[in-house]
Amino acid sequence: MSRVCELTGKGPMTGNNVSHANNKTRRRFLPNLNPVTLQSEALGRSFKLRISTSALRTIDHRGGLDAFLVKAKDSDLSSRALKIKRDIAKSSETAAVLEA
């Protein structure tokens, strides 16, 4: 399982541990990933995703998973999240056709 956020694409970064004697050794900064279940209002079902805590805060700020995925770049999303985004777009198109 890779250490990459499925919604933002945030992954590990590298840097240095610096000791008191100013010795430098390489280290990794890992993103804070959590498995969460998010509800899609357009599709009426839930999805299990492994996302960073900053992405979870952004989802809350934007008003839900559907609103987040509409604004998200396709290059940042994982293949699973991209499929969810396409399904949401299809369901919103069919809803617009039914209303007209």
Q: Which pLDDT tens digit goes with each residue over 41-90?
A: 999 999 999 999 999 999 999 999 999 999 999 999 999 999 999 999 99
Q: How confident is the model at residue 100 (pLDDT cuts 50, 70, 90)?
A: low
As a whole number of angstroms, the distance between CA 88 and CA 32 comes to 27
C-alpha–C-alpha distance, residues 100 and 96, integer Å? 6
Cα–Cα distance between 7 and 82 in angstroms, integer?
Answer: 9
Name residue 93's amino acid. E
Per-residue pLDDT of 22-40, as tens digits, reads 999 999 999 999 999 999 9
Burial (CB count within 10 angstroms: exposed 0-12, middle 13-18, buried 19+), residue 45 = exposed
Euclidean distance between CA atoms 60 and 63, whole angstroms: 5
Domains and CATH numbers, the chain: 13-99 (2.30.170.40)
Residue 51, classified by CB atoms within 10 Å of its CB into exposed (0-12), middle (13-18) or buried (19+), is buried
Element (H, E) at 52: strand 45-52
